[in-house]
């Protein structure tokens, strides 16, 4: 009697949202899009955030949730695992810093997946979780970063991020900033730009966080955007080949067709 060949194991993608609703929801939409295309998806989150995520993806059998513990941090509100629970936004940077203590549980989770024959084809993680890059690299897993925004704002963000390094590419007329080779339907004012420094060690804690984010973005495998080709096609090339892209890193940026 002929034996049937078992179906091939579907590709496995890991999604790791930052613990804030506005960051989580776009990645859950992406999780559903990947699931609808036959991928197995694992969403990584903490105990208190799991019920919300479960309520949004419970109708997708190929999406599972893996819970990692949120660290206990001295002088930080106990049980606060989402930015919505912060008593003050002054605690945002300490909250982001606290997530770095999730490195070991996340590493253990990836190791378990690899050893069980379910190696992820990629990890899509929020930009605030820049530390996931090193853990992905240790297993040879591509890290894709999500900012939860469309192509145009991403181009502006990345171009502005490189301005201090490439001031000669940017002209300032009065208070209006003109970005190189980029036509915007609005005026970008100097006051719209965040303060930057070439030495993050001397910056305030938030600037240090953003410097780490930019470094991880440049060295990640790719950037995923919350858009589609037909909507923002005129900005896709600027995102893919912008001056912020670091050659030799295998970084691929761009919009995908409608998900």
Domain ranges in the chain are 12-151+204-254
Gyration radius from the chain CA atoms: 20
Give the separation between CA 102 and CA 131, rounded to whole angstroms. 9
Instruction: For the chain, give the percent of residues with pLDDT over 90.
Output: 52
Q: Is the pLDDT of residue 256 over 50?
A: no
Q: Is the pLDDT of residue 190 over 60?
A: yes
> What are the residue numbers of the active site?
23, 126
Mean pLDDT of the chain: 83
Could you count the other beta carbons within 10 Å of the beta carbon of residue 29?
Answer: 15
Min mean pLDDT across 194-203, 209-218, 219-228 is at 194-203
Element (H, E) at 34: helix 21-36
Q: What mean pLDDT is predicted for residues 114-129?
A: 96
pTM, two decimal places? 0.83
Spatial neighbors of 48 by CB under 8 A, at least 6 apart, are: 70, 79, 81, 82
CATH number for the domain whose boundaries are 12-151+204-254 = 3.40.50.2000
Give the separation between CA 20 and CA 92, rounded to whole angstroms. 11
């Amino acid at each position: 009697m002929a034996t049937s060949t078992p179906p091939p194991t579907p590709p496995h993608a890991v999604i790791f949202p930052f613990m804030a609703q506005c960051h989580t929801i776009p990645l859950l939409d992406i999780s559903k899009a990947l699931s609808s295309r036959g991928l197995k998806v694992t969403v990584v989150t903490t105990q208190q955030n799991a019920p919300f995520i479960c309520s949004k993806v419970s109708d997708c059998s190929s999406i599972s949730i893996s819970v990692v513990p949120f660290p206990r941090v001295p002088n930080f509100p106990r049980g606060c695992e989402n930015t919505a629970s912060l008593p003050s936004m002054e605690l945002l940077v300490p909250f982001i810093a606290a997530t770095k203590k999730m490195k070991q549980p996340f590493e253990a989770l990836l190791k378990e997946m690899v050893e069980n024959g379910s190696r992820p084809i990629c990890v899509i993680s929020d930009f605030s979780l820049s530390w996931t890059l090193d853990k992905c690299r240790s297993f040879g897993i591509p890290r894709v970063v999500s900012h939860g925004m469309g192509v145009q704002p991403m181009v502006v963000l990345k171009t502005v991020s490189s301005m201090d390094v490439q001031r000669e590419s940017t002209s300032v007329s009065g208070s209006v900033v003109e970005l190189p080779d980029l036509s915007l339907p609005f005026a970008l004012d100097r006051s719209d730009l965040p303060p930057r420094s070439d030495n993050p060690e001397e910056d305030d804690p938030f600037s240090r966080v953003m410097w780490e984010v930019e470094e991880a973005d440049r060295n990640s495998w790719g950037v995923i955007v919350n858009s589609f080709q037909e909507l923002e096609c005129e900005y896709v090339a600027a995102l893919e080949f912008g001056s912020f892209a670091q050659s030799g890193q295998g970084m691929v940026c761009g919009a995908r067709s409608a998900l």
